[in-house]
Structure 1
Amino acid sequence: MKRILKYVLVLMAILFAIPVLSGCGSSKKESSVQPSSWETIKKNKKVVIGLDDSFVPMGFRQKNGELSGYDIDLAKAVFKQYGIKADFQTIDWSMNVTELRNQTIDLIWNGLTITDERKKALTFSEPYLVNQQVLVVKKDSGITDIKGMNGKSLGAQSGSSGAQDIDDHPTILKDRIKNNAPVLYDSFNNAFIDLNANRIQGLLIDSVYANYYIKHMANSKNYRVITSGMPNEEFAVGIKKGNVQVKEKIDSAINRLRENGELKKINEKWFGK
């Protein structure tokens, strides 16, 4: 009797173990497919792109609330080639890498500058646009060059390449400005408010933003744009570290747009000929 009971208990243990083992196998298989991988993006036919929706002309909200911009058009044109819908999600720009790591977004695509620091955390697409950092001041401030910022307050966007440039090239601005540190803002819109109110006397900003934003302001003649002397920058798509297939797909699609003339049309739409 004891022997029979022993066999029954062993048999029950084996039967209970089978679903557990098969369950473990399927978990392992599922976990190997990453949410931001090309396989998942293609399967879902959707890619979630993180952006700062106040960065004109790359990605911003129009007065009616509609999302528009150079990067919006370019991203849509890229993923249209694969039958994938591009969804855009507003994020805190200073937390863009964290958002990507947490997989709340699949890509960072919004005038993102390639830097050595970001290369440690991201895989980048090939660059698609060249940018410079410029100093924007009010004409009535009397500032006409970088030296004019001696002892003055300088603004920059938190988490931006401009803010990084201030630290990386201290002799250009950091060693000159008040407190040897910029006033940081969550968006350039708020920085312009303080510039107009004279709470800061200069703003280090992307040239693509400065040129477009000032051009479309009613009081555009009140501003002066000064070459900063910071090195040229390149915009690219920020991809989760190691997602090489996603990079290859984006690079190939942008090259096709370049070859068929669609990229030129997007460039001229936002920047003119």
Structure 2
Amino acid sequence: MPAPRRFASALAAVCTAGVALAGCGSTSDDDARASQGPGTFTVCTNSPYAPFEFERDGETVGFDMSLGQEIARDMGRTMRVVRADFHTLESGAALDEGRCDAAISGITITPARRRAVDFSEPYFNDQIALLTTKDSGITGFAAVGTRTVGVQRATSGAQYASDRKLTVREYEDADLMFRALGSGKVKAVSGNISTLSRQAREHPDFRLVQTVDTNENLGVAVKKGNTEILDAVNRTLERITRDGTADSLKAEWMGV
């Protein structure tokens, strides 16, 4: 996933927590540190990673951002989004350095990551999928052979392809990875079904050839020991599951 992008303070947008499905502007790390306080819920994310987080009309939107808005609203705070390198999210560095209260960025819950951060209850179950072009002749992971598979660095899709000893080419963000598939630099892409299915719908030349249920669960990450934020996140997850908001968000951003 991409390195941090820094924006001038004048371009930073603050999202009100009362607008549950609205987008949220991104800030620089310095702005985020200055903005944190009792009235702000600062979220670190790594964009683009549609449909979880991506840019639209100058704002960071997506399933994760709407989830963040729900959490902020329940806390009585406003949400501010900070773009960060994915490595700093899964390692807990961004949280430990105080850049944000929580990381919401399609982060898979793994034992290794649990040692670095505290995770919320799972909010989404994803699957690994293989995306290729209609004329590639690839029918699944077992049929890739020596051809190169594009992966997003430090993701479960990358790990799955590497575990199967496939030849991989890493990309810092999903857009670069999909462009490589379209231009023929790679012959297939390994990633999560939630992201790859969107590409299959939007690009007639792409097709999904295999999905693998790995029981992969996504969670909101917080700094180790930050029970105040963790409890607030889990209360919101329980509430949106109970009142149907979670289903509405999935329908809006993923069509499921």
TM-score bucket (shorter structure): 0.7 to 0.9
1:25 alignment partner in structure 2: none
In the TM superposition, 1:94-243 aligns within 5 A as 94-96=87-89, 97-167=92-162, 170=163, 173-174=164-165, 177-178=166-167, 182-215=168-201, 217=202, 220-229=203-212, 231-243=214-226
Instruction: Tell me, yes or no, if the aligned pair for 2:193 and 2:211 is still in contact at 8 Å.
Output: no
CA distance in 1, matches of 2:135, 2:189: 15
**How far has the Cα of 1:154 moved from its partner?**
1.2
C-alpha root-mean-square deviation of aligned residues, in Å?
A: 1.9
Q: Which amino acid aligns with 1:124?
A: F
The one of 41, 44, 53 aligned to 1:59: 53
Corresponding position of 1:26: none
Q: Is the partner of 1:242 in helix, strand or coil?
A: coil
SS of residue paired to 2:75: coil
Question: How far is 1:102 from its partner?
Answer: 1.7
Render the CA deviation track for 1:8-56: whole Å, top value 9, x for unaligned: xxxxxxxxxxxxxxxxxxxxxxxxxxxxxxxx97x52112111112111
Name the residue aligned to 2:248. 265
What per-residue deviation string (whole Å, max 9, x for no partner) do you get for residues 204-259 of structure 1? Answer: 111111112332x3xx2211212253612011101111212321111112212222
Structure 2, unmatched stretches of 5+, are 1-34
Partner of 1:32: none
Amino acid at match of 1:60: F
User: Match of 1:56, SS?
Assistant: coil
**1:70 correspondence with 2:63:** yes
SS in 1 for 2:217: strand
Letter in 1 for 2:241: R
Identity of aligned residues (%): 24
Contact 2:151 2:191 in 1 (8 A): yes
Between structures 1 and 2, the one with greater strand share: 2
Equivalent position SS for 1:61 = strand
2:120 is aligned with what amino acid? S
Provide the C-alpha distance between the structure 1 equivalents of 2:80 and 2:219, rounded to a whole number of angstroms.
Answer: 18
Give, in whole Å, the separation in 2 of the partners of 1:190 and 1:49: 24
Give the conservation status (yes or no) of the 8 Å contact 2:103–2:221: yes
Equivalenced residue count is 220
- C-alpha distance in 2, partners of 1:150/1:190? 23
Match of 1:50 among 32, 41, 44: 44
Counterpart CA distance in 2 for 1:145 and 1:160 is: 19
SS of 1:54's equivalent in the other structure is: coil
Q: TM-score w.r.t. structure 1 length?
A: 0.75
Aligned to 1:85: 78
TM-score using structure 2 length:
0.80
Q: Pick the structure with greater CA Rg.
A: 1
* Structure 1: segments with no counterpart, 5+ residues: 1-39
